[in-house]
Structure 1
Amino acid sequence: MSGSASADDGGDGRTRFLIDLDDVSRDEIPDSVDVVHDISQIGVLAARGNPDAVPSASAVTADVTAYQDGPVEEHDEDSEGSGGPAWDSGAPTRTELQWDKRDQRLGHLTERPDNRRVVHDTTTGEATRVAVVDSGVYDGHPDLADAVNADLSANYTLDSWDFRPNGAGDHGTHVAGIIAGTNADGEGVLGTAPDTEIVAHRVFSALPGGGASTGDILAALADAADKGCDVANFSVGYTNYDVEENPDLLDVKAMYEDLAEYAHEQDMTIVNSTGNDAVDMTPEDTLSLPTEAEGIFGVSATGPIGYLWDDEQSSREVKSLKTLDEPTATPASYTNYGAGVDVSAAGGNYDTDLPEGYYYDLVFSTIVTDDGTDDPVAGYGWKAGTSMAAPQVAGAYALVRSLRPDASAEAVESLIKETARDGPGGETYHGAGHLDLRRLVREASKGRKGNGNNGKGNGK
């Protein structure tokens, strides 16, 4: 996270604010107040104009700005020096760069010397739907072209463009690849749930401001629940540790708690990144939102140190995860920890003082460059952050729902936590534990019920 809480004016000089309909009647709102979003699911209006025009001051809360939880480090595949160590056998393939998926034995990324089962032998997330509430998703990327439901995707900002990045950055595209990359033609990246369906809700704009409005976010998440999404990935948050100076954050926290309750009623979970400030969230004077809101599923980040550095390996795809300086479940140096962490997952780690190729310890996924409205360019690159950890869990959620379509949101959350494994640093850094896809899918496949898709899925 970066930045502090502030009122967002939407780029047009008119103040953005939130109205709690428990404290004022909708009929009392004057015409001079422009209602941007009617978030009736939780009794809130997102508005702009003069907040003093609302007849009840207690009904008004500042529309504070949220920021992307990362990346804390990034590197594009086409950047100078991306070749890494001088491999005798050639540069690593893109699938070989996915330590996060290899560690979980997710799929048949490359030929293996054994015939062990992988997670995707059981499920690939078919007949599920995942919302990515972020900076937009570029559905022109070959690994995402068949994953994004363009009809359900939408823009929640005040600009006039669609759900694609449109200059808002490739953060959401990277997140989407972690969840649902399809490894197009065997030359791309593989997501945790490549047969899930992505609904892209853009809440970041290329307009001045740099952040996302709370009102836009609440509307996007509530609509995701109404669109039948099984889980919403929200790699976004707020940083402020002095709540006394920013009491509006407590009102925002209550709104997220109402939203999480509503989402659960629709059998949807909101998965959130815990933040990248290396802060203990346990003390009462520390508030990390929305992770610490009741009902939000918080994910901290872990990652290796030393992946693919050894250019003397005779079989890097087998040995590379066995020769690490730090294992993949090691808490990342930047991750927030303590209260609010439900589980940990792969978000990437890094040490820039170490050899060329340090970025191999970041998470490799889909990106887009020149991401404006004209001629965006699909690509691949590395990012590290709790932003990259949350979608690992969102994808895992889709795998469970594909096996247990009738399971409640709370039941899926419980299963993810119950099957998580112990990690270095214990509960403080990992909550219930570190995500374990093999154990999770194995347990989820027991006593399966139902095979309907509830109208979801992309038919792949």
Structure 2
Amino acid sequence: MVRHTRRSMLKTAGATLGGLTLAGNVSASTGENARFFINLTEVSRSEVPDDVEIIHDLSQADVLVARGDQERVGGPGATVPDIKIDLSDDTTGAVESQDGPSVDERSASHNHDGAPSNSEFQWDKRAQNLSNNLTDKPGNGKVVHDTATGEGTRVAVVDSGVYDGHPDLEDVVNADLSENVTGDPYDFRPNGAGSHGTHVAGTIAATNSNDGPGGGVLGTAPDTEIIAYRMFSGMEGYQGDGYAAWVKAAENDCDAINYSVGFPFPYVFPEELPSLRAELRIAELVASYAREQGTVVVNSAGNDSLNMDRVDPERGEVLSLPTEAEGVFGVSATGPIGVGWGGKKSDNEEQWLRGNRLEEPTTEPAFYTNYGSAVDVSAAGGNADLQAIASNPDAYNDLVYSTVNTVDADGNVVSSYGWKAGTSMAAPQVSGAVALVRSLDPDASVEEVEQLIRDTASQEAEGELYHGSGHLDLEALVKAASKGKGKDRGR
């Protein structure tokens, strides 16, 4: 079997790095009707011409998102193009994806005696000892949800929209505060950009409420509240709309912002694209404002198998945004190889997680993940053996399983479940962890929450380069957070 591992992908990427050109999945508009950012630390608001349209007024963060003739506003450094991102590209969404059963269908998983259940696919939650209710053969020991479930907290999902009609999300999404920030005439629910945001929301807060034959799935913090901000209209979205959502989320008292979006390779070389340094400054201004309101900004590290500390001999240093922006909490992805592929122990999930059937453990850095000093921690994002997936449908079990929305032949939205892999799937594991901490210690500052997650993470064999401070450890985290409960810290 030829394995498509992280190491082999990196070797290939390194060999071709110098010959790539700017990808078509990001672009900046130019001309008299272009979208752009205005940095109000570089130019006064009074100097902005009246005929420049302000799309999002984020002046509380010293940023405006504008449309018009960029050249008429301030001098160098005062403006920078707003970037359009195509979510359909593998490096900006999920690297691998596969739809599963609808909520009305029986799960194909059957890992214990008794009825099969959707939650049996949730290796990520079972590896974290999240709940005794994840399978039809629960254990008897203390689990994470015995200590915290995210009650009293709020998480923003800035993404492709969240389908709140899913039975595992029905009582989770705050429809009154959720918002479409794109400017199109529709609401916060998905509008042509697939199920990315719904999958993310399920990883954070799914309630396992589906009463269908396969049951539901469970999120890290099922008692948190989700505010959904849709920043993609169809498959396209703008960073400026995303940053507008950061500000809205912070002002709506969100404990965390989950932002599984970023600038993909090769849009990472400031020597080729000097505007990236100005883009960095915009991200840092908005992140700083969010943090001042008590909100942790969690971002996926990216899916380009990229060393963010690298200096390319021809193209210079790497700058991966917004992960490398000060004030952003970066998350890399890990995942197993071999979950339920078949064989004599394929009916025993505990054997999988103890490693008896896994070719790679759940903490193995995923083949696609970005890495480097901008990573704060790693978390479960799913892994994949690409050759195995082509011939064995069970190989999709190595991806993260969560809530999705699909569309049937008549155009109706269908609540379903499905697999995805990407750092997009790792970030919400950490956003859910923020909710657990804040439910135990509501007065913990942003810095204290972030440091607690780092301090309790378990360092793995690959070290800081891939895992930052370590791999997310929910059991250690809630134990430590519960000791800080009730302290008068202030936010």
What TM-score do the two structures reach when normalised by structure 1?
Answer: 0.90
Counterpart of 1:198 in structure 2 is 226
Residues 395 and 8 from structure 1, CA distance in 2 versus in 1: closer, same or farther, beyond 3 angstroms? farther
The correspondence for 1:277, drawn from 304, 310, 319, is: 304
Residues 243 and 266 from structure 1, CA distance in 2 versus in 1: closer, same or farther, beyond 3 angstroms? same
Q: Deviations over 1:85-117 (max 9, x none)?
A: 998969852110000000000012125464101
Aligned AA (1:366): T
Residues 158 and 313 from structure 1, CA distance in 2 versus in 1: closer, same or farther, beyond 3 angstroms? same
Structure 1 residues 322-341: aligned runs within 5 Å:
322=354, 323=356, 324-341=358-375
Do the aligned residues in 2 keep the contact of 1:272 with 1:291 (CA within 8 Å)?
A: yes
- SS of 1:287's partner is coil
Counterpart of 2:33 in structure 1 is 14
- SS of 2:426's partner is helix
Counterpart of 1:75 in structure 2 is 98
Do the aligned residues in 1 keep the contact of 2:300 with 2:427 (CA within 8 Å)?
A: yes
Offset of residue 193 of structure 1: 0.2
Residues 120 and 136 from structure 1, CA distance in 2 versus in 1: closer, same or farther, beyond 3 angstroms? same
Aligned AA (2:152): A
- SS of 1:301's partner is strand
1:405 and 2:442 correspond: yes
Residues 13 and 148 from structure 1, CA distance in 2 versus in 1: closer, same or farther, beyond 3 angstroms? farther
Deviates more, 1:218-227 or 1:57-66: 57-66
- SS of 2:286's partner is helix
Q: Deviations over 1:318-342 (max 9, x none)?
A: 2221221110000000100112100
Distance 1:258 1:280 in 2: 25
1:95 and 2:135 correspond: no
**Alignment coverage as a number of residue pairs:** 445
Counterpart of 1:343 in structure 2 is 377
Distance 1:429 1:404 in 2: 29
Counterpart of 1:228 in structure 2 is 253
1:25 and 2:48 correspond: no
Structure 1 residues 48-127: aligned runs within 5 Å:
48-54=67-73, 56=75, 58-66=77-85, 68=87, 69-78=92-101, 92-108=116-132, 109-112=134-137, 114-127=139-152
Distance 1:253 1:203 in 2: 19
Aligned AA (1:393): V
Distance 1:371 1:138 in 2: 15
Do the aligned residues in 2 keep the contact of 1:42 with 1:258 (CA within 8 Å)?
A: yes
Do the aligned residues in 1 keep the contact of 2:41 with 2:62 (CA within 8 Å)?
A: yes
Aligned AA (2:330): G
- SS of 1:65's partner is strand
Do the aligned residues in 2 keep the contact of 1:8 with 1:213 (CA within 8 Å)?
A: no
Aligned AA (1:351): D
Offset of residue 22 of structure 1: 2.6
Deviates more, 1:15-24 or 1:373-382: 373-382
1:378 and 2:412 correspond: no
- SS of 1:407's partner is coil
Offset of residue 303 of structure 1: 0.3
Do the aligned residues in 2 keep the contact of 1:85 with 1:309 (CA within 8 Å)?
A: no
Counterpart of 2:325 in structure 1 is 293
Offset of residue 37 of structure 1: 0.3
- SS of 1:288's partner is coil
Structure 2 unaligned regions, length at least 5: 1-21, 312-316
Distance 2:43 2:461 in 1: 50
Structure 1 residues 162-241: aligned runs within 5 Å:
162-185=187-210, 187-206=215-234, 210-239=235-264, 240-241=267-268
Do the aligned residues in 1 keep the contact of 2:107 with 2:117 (CA within 8 Å)?
A: no
Aligned AA (1:349): N
Residues 415 and 141 from structure 1, CA distance in 2 versus in 1: closer, same or farther, beyond 3 angstroms? same
Do the aligned residues in 1 keep the contact of 2:340 with 2:395 (CA within 8 Å)?
A: no
Q: Deviations over 1:385-425 (max 9, x none)?
A: 00000000000110000000000011010000000001131
Do the aligned residues in 1 keep the contact of 2:58 with 2:247 (CA within 8 Å)?
A: yes
1:133 and 2:158 correspond: yes
Do the aligned residues in 1 keep the contact of 2:333 with 2:366 (CA within 8 Å)?
A: yes
- SS of 2:161's partner is coil
- SS of 1:17's partner is strand
Distance 1:255 1:443 in 2: 34
Do the aligned residues in 2 keep the contact of 1:85 with 1:356 (CA within 8 Å)?
A: no
Aligned AA (1:245): E
Do the aligned residues in 1 keep the contact of 2:111 with 2:348 (CA within 8 Å)?
A: no
Residues 279 and 3 from structure 1, CA distance in 2 versus in 1: closer, same or farther, beyond 3 angstroms? farther
Counterpart of 2:18 in structure 1 is none
Do the aligned residues in 2 keep the contact of 1:305 with 1:327 (CA within 8 Å)?
A: yes
What TM-score do the two structures reach when normalised by structure 2?
Answer: 0.85
Distance 2:23 2:409 in 1: 23
Offset of residue 4 of structure 1: 5.5
The correspondence for 1:319, drawn from 330, 344, 351, is: 351
Do the aligned residues in 1 keep the contact of 2:206 with 2:403 (CA within 8 Å)?
A: yes
Q: Deviations over 1:164-205 (max 9, x none)?
A: 112222100000000000111461110000000000011111
Q: Deviations over 1:136-183 (max 9, x none)?
A: 101111111100001111111121111111222210000000000011
- SS of 2:262's partner is strand
- SS of 2:241's partner is helix
Distance 1:259 1:371 in 2: 39
Q: Deviations over 1:260-303 (max 9, x none)?
A: 22122111110000000101000251111111111110000000
Aligned AA (1:73): E
Aligned AA (2:365): P
Offset of residue 214 of structure 1: 2.0
Do the aligned residues in 2 keep the contact of 1:167 with 1:371 (CA within 8 Å)?
A: no
Q: Deviations over 1:191-245 (max 9, x none)?
A: 0000000000111111xxx432121111110111111000000000002132122
Residues 132 and 373 from structure 1, CA distance in 2 versus in 1: closer, same or farther, beyond 3 angstroms? farther
Do the aligned residues in 2 keep the contact of 1:67 with 1:237 (CA within 8 Å)?
A: no
Identity of counterpart residues, as a percentage?
Answer: 55
Do the aligned residues in 1 keep the contact of 2:32 with 2:70 (CA within 8 Å)?
A: no
- SS of 1:330's partner is coil
Distance 2:189 2:275 in 1: 31
Residues 420 and 57 from structure 1, CA distance in 2 versus in 1: closer, same or farther, beyond 3 angstroms? closer
Distance 2:446 2:343 in 1: 45
